[in-house]
Amino acid sequence: MRVLVTGFEPFGGEADNPTVAALAALAAAAPAHPGIAVTTRVLPVDFARASEALEAAVRAADPAAVIALGLAAGRREVTPERAAINIADARIADNAGAQPIDEPLEPGGPAGAFATLPIKAITADLRAAHIPAAVSQTAGTYVCNAVFYRLMRVCQDLGARGGRAPAAGFVHVPHTRDMDQERIAAAVLRCVLTTAAHVRSGRPDLRAAGGAEA
């Protein structure tokens, strides 16, 4: 089965983005797992271009699953995201200098879209591997959220047209100041393997507590 995994270029004045190195490590590790073909793409941190690049990658790869990765500086856990929301509200400008504030990503579109990745199972498997992880309820309002929202809308469109709607969603990883690159790479590989196992078997996500009080 083919799995598309995307990351992002550096942004916000950072010299690197750990998702880029994680994609390289994933591509190197994937051949050791027969039956899984991994395609990777690095997306621009650009509201106008990132979502279009994501959609093009999905349609070209025809994957069974898509995992979009992003950097959440300040978090100390790997966080599979539950939902994307139809809003752009950028605290800082993107790499093209755009800074949308309170703008819909898709005028007239749904208020939100839920991941179809097995986010609870991914979280449990990461914890079992001693990698700090937790379900996150929101992907923010920056380019990560914009890509996540477009991803789910593209998948919905594929399903509506009678094609295969891949299991899809978004996973934030910490900065290397808070989690070393080797552990981030191991987490990304585990996300892929857990997702592939669930897609192949058709079993539902793990039913476990993963909510938040605030």
Answer whether 0.85 is exceeded by the pTM: yes
Instruction: Report helix, strand or coil for 201.
Output: helix
DSSP 30: G
One-letter amino acid identity for 78?
V
Provide the β-strand partners of residue 19: none
pLDDT along the chain (214 residues), means of 10: 97 94 96 94 98 96 97 95 98 98 98 98 97 97 98 94 89 96 98 97 90 68
For the range 41-44, what are the long-range contacts, defined as Cβ-Cβ under 8 Å and sequence gap of 24 or more?
A: 41/4, 41/5, 41/6, 41/7, 42/6, 42/7, 42/8, 42/9, 43/6, 43/7, 43/8, 43/9, 43/147, 44/8, 44/9, 44/95, 44/96
Superfamily of domain 2-200: Peptidase C15, pyroglutamyl peptidase I-like (3.40.630.20)
What residues does each domain of the chain span? Answer: 2-200
Tokens of 39: 């395609």
144 assigned to active site: yes
Task: Specify the pLDDT at position 161.
Answer: 81
Catalytic residue among 26, 144, 155, 199: 144
